[in-house]
Structure 1
Amino acid sequence: MNIKMGLNIALYLLVTLGVASAHTIMQAVGVNGKASGQGVGIYMPSDDSYQSDVKSDSMACNGSPVTGFTSSSQIISVNAGDTVTGSWLHTLTSTGADSEADNKVIASSHKGPVMAYMKKVADATQNPSAGPGDGWFKISEAGLISSTEWGVDALINAGGVQTVVIPSCIEDGDYLLRFELIALHSASSEGAAQFYMECAQISVSGGSGASTPATYAIPGIYSATDPGIHVNIYNNQGQPYPSGYTTPGPDVFTCGASSASSNATTSNTVIDASALVGSATSYSVSDVSTLVASSTSPVTVTSIVPDGTATSRISGPTIYPVAYNATSSFRPMGSAASQPVASTLMTMRKPYPSNHHDHEHSCA
């Protein structure tokens, strides 16, 4: 056995035999920086265990075999375009590191993506029964952000606070807002990925209603053999940062663009956006949008960071530009050494072709 293989096996045994066995619970929701109380508007368990069966109805809004749930009769009011946060804790009383987790959120060994979905429902208080089935669309994802950071790492660095933006172009009404993270430390075995999710009950107002997202079923968005779910995340040095990673599930829905499945087999064309301006110091979002729109094949622009941030290159599409507008200024990649955090990265993607509920939509 060579040294590199030994490191991989040692790290795998460390995180799968219970040395780092901490779990997590999404336990509070906030709107525009104002947090609701613990358990308000959430179908929340006291049990911090995970789901592992991607075919189970419990994949939608949690459920058996997880136990200790408390329902809420409250619905949280949000405006379309609002920033909404979900707060994760290792246990409902976590205030810091303990014998299982090296921080208050989840063991740092539990690397993986962090995502959020929405589903329009007749009555958000019918949570979790309204969860299983079609109607879900993804509004946020952070997978392998860089060579040293996963979505879970960014979540830990943010104190367990997951931040999403409610699309401004959706219809008003009740929605389930599904916060999710997937721990991949033992996912080299099929069926061993750990799924954590909770659904918040929200009512959206002020939306333009100009776009109806392509929707997907939960269960149904994931397969146990998906490359982002059945995966060995460890590299040849035994570190949990592979050279690439495919975030599972559909593409993120954004206003003004069609929504499509990320499971399509069409490959992307990756364009270095610095070529747009040559030696110029900045370019506009509209410049990049024009490039993406004019391409005849799917396009991913990866080399953009906002002015004033570090400029290390990221690998692969991770973050959509939901927080930026057409007047924002961006600059080409430079030589700064530090890596920007997830919230400062910008990736613009022309979606994959798909025949799964796929339509062209735009927001006025």
Structure 2
Amino acid sequence: MKILSVFLLAVVAVEGHYTFPRLVVNGKTVEDRDWLFTRQTKNAQSKSGIENPTSGDIRCYSSTTAPQIATVPAGASVNYISTQQINHPGPTQYYLARVPAGSSAKTWDGSGSVWWKFASTMPYYDANKQLVWPAQNTYATHPAAIPANTPSGEYLLRVEQIALHMASQANKAQFYISCSQINITNGGNGTPGPTVSLPGAYRSNDPGIQVNIYNLQPDAYRAPGPAPWQG
């Protein structure tokens, strides 16, 4: 009986993990197979999240680059298909990093203070007075619009969903991450910022990373990283 209980707990743990292998643009899945525009992550098989926010894996968690670059118009809505239900509570955040001149989104590693956030979700109470996040318990991340004033060019698009169900303990928040290679078209002349480095932007004890969500008012949550740029 004890062995069976351990096995069932292991199954539940695996089923509670996920990856984001397919990009969605304006409500349409643009990848007809996994990891076409999105860089395959190290957890493609295990589905486990990152627990150390200062690790180099916090940038893209990628094991390989993707073979192609997706065309995404400025102002478009983006989100990701999940391999499993996103049942862990926590925010979804989106970042962009512009590829330097002379480099390609197919090969650039995203190093340096180049990442800027453009969206972050906040929790709310459902009808049962339970704290939940947008798109929780669905099979896709919550969508966000790329600011219309984003300059045209090649970028790395990064999504993260931070699972906070065990986050009252140090290094127990779980980061589920993907990075896609995109080319933004029809952009504007904005100056996105502030920019941060990944790793570098997060610390293990940031209030949005080490937090007890079971004793939290919805408007009291403060997501880690810079404020979103709205263009």
> What is the TM-score normalised by the length of structure 1?
0.54
Tell me the distance in 2 between the aligned counterparts of 1:171 and 1:160: 27
Paired residue secondary structure (2:197):
strand
Whether the aligned pair in 2 keeps the contact of 1:77 and 1:202 (CA below 8 Å) is: yes
Whether the aligned pair in 1 keeps the contact of 2:53 and 2:203 (CA below 8 Å) is: yes
Task: Tell whether 2:76 aligns with 1:82.
Answer: yes
* Higher relative contact order (Cα pairs below 8 Å, separated by 6+ residues): 2
Q: Which amino acid aligns with 1:148?
A: Q
| Residue equivalent to 1:44 | 40
| Residue equivalent to 1:150 | 132
Identify if the C-alpha distance between structure 1 residues 189 and 199 changes in structure 2 by more than 3 Å, giving closer, same or farther.
same
| Residue equivalent to 1:53 | 52
Shift of 1:19: 7.7
Identify if the C-alpha distance between structure 1 residues 71 and 212 changes in structure 2 by more than 3 Å, giving closer, same or farther.
closer
Tell me the distance in 2 between the aligned counterparts of 1:132 and 1:197: 16
Tell me the distance in 2 between the aligned counterparts of 1:31 and 1:24: 20
Shift of 1:55: 1.5
The one of 53, 72, 96 equivalent to 1:118 is: 96
Shift of 1:27: 1.2
Identify if the C-alpha distance between structure 1 residues 184 and 75 changes in structure 2 by more than 3 Å, giving closer, same or farther.
same
Shift of 1:40: 1.6
Tell me the distance in 2 between the aligned counterparts of 1:84 and 1:170: 14
Q: Which amino acid aligns with 1:163?
A: P
| Residue equivalent to 1:33 | 27
Cα shift readout 1:101-122 (whole Å, capped 9, x = no counterpart)? xxxx13x3x2111111111013
Shift of 1:187: 1.1
Task: Tell whether 2:209 aligns with 1:222.
Answer: no
Whether the aligned pair in 2 keeps the contact of 1:170 and 1:210 (CA below 8 Å) is: yes
> Alpha carbon RMSD of aligned pairs, Å?
2.0
Tell me the distance in 2 between the aligned counterparts of 1:211 and 1:49: 35
Paired residue secondary structure (1:77):
strand
Tell me the distance in 1 between the aligned counterparts of 2:180 and 2:154: 11
| Residue equivalent to 1:13 | none
- What percent of counterpart residues are identical? 33
Cα shift readout 1:281-327 (whole Å, capped 9, x = no counterpart)? xxxxxxxxxxxxxxxxxxxxxxxxxxxxxxxxxxxxxxxxxxxxxxx
Identify if the C-alpha distance between structure 1 residues 20 and 229 changes in structure 2 by more than 3 Å, giving closer, same or farther.
farther
Shift of 1:145: 2.9
Identify if the C-alpha distance between structure 1 residues 18 and 133 changes in structure 2 by more than 3 Å, giving closer, same or farther.
farther
Tell me the distance in 1 between the aligned counterparts of 2:141 and 2:192: 28
| Residue equivalent to 1:248 | 224
Whether the aligned pair in 2 keeps the contact of 1:82 and 1:166 (CA below 8 Å) is: yes
| Residue equivalent to 1:137 | 116
Q: Which amino acid aligns with 1:130?
A: D
Provide the aligned length of Structure 1 versus Structure 2. Answer: 208
Whether the aligned pair in 2 keeps the contact of 1:111 and 1:150 (CA below 8 Å) is: yes
Structure 1: runs of 5 or more not aligned: 1-16, 64-68, 91-104, 236-241, 256-364
Whether the aligned pair in 2 keeps the contact of 1:57 and 1:132 (CA below 8 Å) is: no
Tell me the distance in 2 between the aligned counterparts of 1:185 and 1:210: 37
The 5 A counterparts of 1:343-354 are none
Shift of 1:156: 3.3
Structure 2: runs of 5 or more not aligned: 1-8
Tell me the distance in 2 between the aligned counterparts of 1:160 and 1:121: 26
Structure label with greater radius of gyration: 1
Runs of 4+ in 1 over 6 A off after TM superposition: none
Q: Which amino acid aligns with 1:142?
A: T
The one of 170, 182, 187 equivalent to 1:202 is: 182
